[in-house]
Chain A
Amino acid sequence: MKNGFKNISGRFVPLDIENVDTDQIIPARFLKATTKEGFGANLFRDWRYINDDSSQPRMDFVLNQKAYSGSILVAGKNFGCGSSREHAAWSLVDYGFKAVVSSFFADIFKSNALNNGLLPVTVSESFLSQLFSLSAASELKIDLEEQTITIQETGLQETFEINAYKKTCLMNGYDDIDFLLSIKDTITEYEKIQEKNYE
């Protein structure tokens, strides 16, 4: 059980790069933990710091630029491709992100995000380029219930798709395991039928 939510609003961090893979989000050498906490410190580690040294931030990387802040990450298409590591979703959540906006998400990342209460918002290419052209002070509003994303200063709005089941889960903080555990009898019944049919 996690905390549910209906809206996310505020400023956003623009990461205008396509095909951001999960090795960039969290490099493999940081996957050695056996808990889910603390990954935010290494989010985008090799883009964030020079020579892997956290006292030497790369000032051309957006997370190190004071002008940008907020709990919404806006990224180029095919975000989260590559490795299935859920550590990528954990590191974004641990850093403070609540939603990621892109024109295209890799499948496994999308599931991982949804399973951690991180909302993936898929928008059109043209809406995405509008977002990248906004000033740092601009604010967005994501309404999960209405399935809309709005640029506050212009009122420009787009609707986004989300599976009805997943939407209910996010709004109420339910997770899939609660549901699967609640249908164990059905699963056992299925197993019995399969055994009879295929043995």
Chain B
Amino acid sequence: MGKTLFDKIWERHVVKEIDGGPSVLYIDRHFIHEVTSPQAFAGLNARGVNVFRPQQTIATADHNVPTENQHLPIKEELSRLQVEALKKNCAEHLIELYGLGHPFQGIVHVIGPELGITQPGMTIVCGDSHTSTHGAFGSIAFGIGTSEVEMVLASQCLLQSKPKLMRIRIEGQLNKGVVSKDLVLHILSKLSASGATGYAVEFAGSTIRNLSMEARMTICNMSIEMGARCGMIAPDETTFAYIKNRLFAPGQSKWENALAEWKQLFSDDDAVFDKEVVLQAEAMEPMITYGTNPGMGISVTGSIPSLDQIPSNDRTAFEKALKYMGWEAGTAVKGKKVDYVFIGSCTNSRIEDLRQVASFVQGKHKADDVEVWIVPGSKQVEKQAQEEGIDTILEQAGFKLRQPGCSACLGMNEDKIPAGKYCISTSNRNFEGRQGAGARTLLASPLTAAAAAITGVVSDVRDFLN
């Protein structure tokens, strides 16, 4: 029987099997940030243990940092202390830190790929659930808790049980105005927010093959929103071209060997998955969420379901979500008022996202009563956007490019959406209070978010195309 992509990588990383228990899995790359690492370092220090392989851990400050005036000391005391603790811990344990002010600083899931640290065939972890992003390169990448961060620091290994395997195949061509974020929100609306729990998901099919690396990252990023342990895509020429010549990519002398190995990373024709899902790209439309989990998505031209369309078990949750959102069942979402637009996060803050937004808003102007925050994923994205003149286009349209960080995706810094306000967000979670206590989040693609920034209401981006 053939092997899946997941099997091939997993088997190579098993250090030891435990009877009746999990496997000891070797971790190639470990990313850390200021929020989920301090207690892990404290644990190591309490045990008197050193970091086992400091060169395999890379740190950045992203969750808690301000997105304006990053050259000044962080105003909020607890945030500042957390960022300082990261600096101190990295210095003590000889870990490379791309902190505030460093030209490589940025959201951990943006900088790993853009620096060429993320490569096919690797096992990659981080104390952040969106680590699944790195699976877009054909790696096993997943989020872990702080105890597990401590384990990786101490031993470069984790105890892991092998998940079940699911393949989601998407075939056909995406319609105009429909981008990878819509694709993943569409999958979520079909599978639900727990539809892939316990599974590692491989995304495959002609639609996926035709996507850029940035678009693939958006999809793998949100695989955790289906509950998946990780999401992954087999590497191909698009992957190799993206990695080549990046700072930490294999150099000239090693490139051919690396490539030969990476080309073996695919699911064999006769590989068997525990579950298979097939979807058609032509059926997908620009998406928007109406509720309080990412599975509650509909076409931007659709209506919120009516109560009788919801399975009886889910009705309480549905009604609770609509009450929180301040909306009625059965009503259209298009045309509803928007107060804030947030374009950023590890889901959609890469250069391709900013290019899409810029090309859409060029020659248009922001609606007066909408606040728009555009937050690049990294210093390198910010620099590239400036070099391409994207910042100027955005300014002419009435927007401003802020500085890199997680920002309003989780509202840990001062970028919070006020209670009761509606925010169209390119981030990944519309949970109650995610963007600030009482904030109401509508998840959408960068294009759909940009359209709302121009009109001030939920809009169908296709009305502007052609």
By the criterion CB–CB under 8 Å, are A177 and B151 in contact? yes
B411 partner residues in chain A, CB cutoff 8 A: 28-29
B317 within 8 A of A: yes
Q: Within the assembled complex, what's the spacing in Å between the Cα atoms of A189 and B396?
A: 59
B423-437 interface bits toward A, Cβ cutoff 8 Å, 1 = contact, 0 = none: 000000101111001
By the criterion CB–CB under 8 Å, are B143 and A29 in contact? no
By the criterion CB–CB under 8 Å, are B412 and A28 in contact? yes
Given A27-B433, A34-B39, A82-B431, A176–B194 Cβ distance below 8 Å? no
Given A32-B412, A107-B198, A111-B145, A84–B161 Cβ distance below 8 Å? no
Closest Cβ–Cβ distance, residue B249 to chain A (whole Å): 16
Contact of A23 among B47, B143, B429 (CB under 8 A): B429
Task: In the complex, identify which listed stretch (A14-22, A67-75, A149-157) lies at the interface while the others stay far away.
Answer: A14-22
Q: Within the assembled complex, what's the spacing in Å between the Cα atoms of A111 and B22?
A: 12
By the criterion CB–CB under 8 Å, are B433 and A108 in contact? no
B293 within 8 A of A: yes
Q: Within the assembled complex, what's the spacing in Å between the Cα atoms of A107 and B193?
A: 13
A106 partner residues in chain B, CB cutoff 8 A: 194, 197, 227
A24 within 8 A of B: yes
A58 partner residues in chain B, CB cutoff 8 A: none
By the criterion CB–CB under 8 Å, are B143 and A84 in contact? yes
By the criterion CB–CB under 8 Å, are A46 and B433 in contact? yes
By the criterion CB–CB under 8 Å, are A180 and B151 in contact? yes
Contact of B229 among A107, A166, A179, A191 (CB under 8 A): A107
By the criterion CB–CB under 8 Å, are A23 and B433 in contact? yes
By the criterion CB–CB under 8 Å, are B147 and A86 in contact? yes
B156 partner residues in chain A, CB cutoff 8 A: 187, 191
A175 within 8 A of B: yes
By the criterion CB–CB under 8 Å, are A81 and B194 in contact? yes
B81-103 interface bits toward A, Cβ cutoff 8 Å, 1 = contact, 0 = none: 11001000000000000000000
By the criterion CB–CB under 8 Å, are B154 and A181 in contact? yes
Give the size category of B's interface with A. 35 or more
B81 partner residues in chain A, CB cutoff 8 A: 32, 34
A94-108 interface bits toward B, Cβ cutoff 8 Å, 1 = contact, 0 = none: 000000000010111
By the criterion CB–CB under 8 Å, are A180 and B154 in contact? yes
Within 8 A of A (CB), among B405-448: 410-412, 429, 431-434, 437-438
By the criterion CB–CB under 8 Å, are A28 and B194 in contact? no
By the criterion CB–CB under 8 Å, are A165 and B227 in contact? no
By the criterion CB–CB under 8 Å, are B129 and A84 in contact? yes
A76 partner residues in chain B, CB cutoff 8 A: 317
A23-42 interface bits toward B, Cβ cutoff 8 Å, 1 = contact, 0 = none: 11001110111111000000
Contact of B431 among A17, A23, A111, A194 (CB under 8 A): A23
Closest Cβ–Cβ distance, residue A58 to chain B (whole Å): 13
Q: Please give me the residue from chain B that is nearest to A21 by CB atom.
A: B431
By the criterion CB–CB under 8 Å, are A35 and B42 in contact? yes
Given A19-B194, A32-B82, A164-B20, A180–B227 Cβ distance below 8 Å? no
A119 partner residues in chain B, CB cutoff 8 A: none
A46-76 interface bits toward B, Cβ cutoff 8 Å, 1 = contact, 0 = none: 1000001000000000000000000000001
Q: Within the assembled complex, what's the spacing in Å between the Cα atoms of A176 and B161?
A: 13
B194 partner residues in chain A, CB cutoff 8 A: 19, 77-78, 81, 104, 106
Contact of A28 among B24, B224, B410 (CB under 8 A): B410
A33 partner residues in chain B, CB cutoff 8 A: 38, 78
Q: Within the assembled complex, what's the spacing in Å between the Cα atoms of A191 and B56?
A: 13
Q: Within the assembled complex, what's the spacing in Å between the Cα atoms of A180 and B158?
A: 8
Given A18-B314, A106-B197, A111-B145, A187–B155 Cβ distance below 8 Å? yes
Q: Within the assembled complex, what's the spacing in Å between the Cα atoms of A84 and B42?
A: 19
B340 partner residues in chain A, CB cutoff 8 A: none
> Can you list 9 pairs linking A and B with CB atoms under 8 Å apart?
A24-B431, A28-B412, A32-B35, A32-B79, A46-B437, A115-B148, A163-B161, A181-B47, A187-B15
Binding site for B on A (CB under 8 A): 16-19, 21, 23-24, 27-29, 31-36, 46, 52, 76-78, 81-86, 89, 104, 106-108, 111-112, 115-116, 163-166, 175-177, 179-181, 183-184, 186-187, 190-191, 194, 198
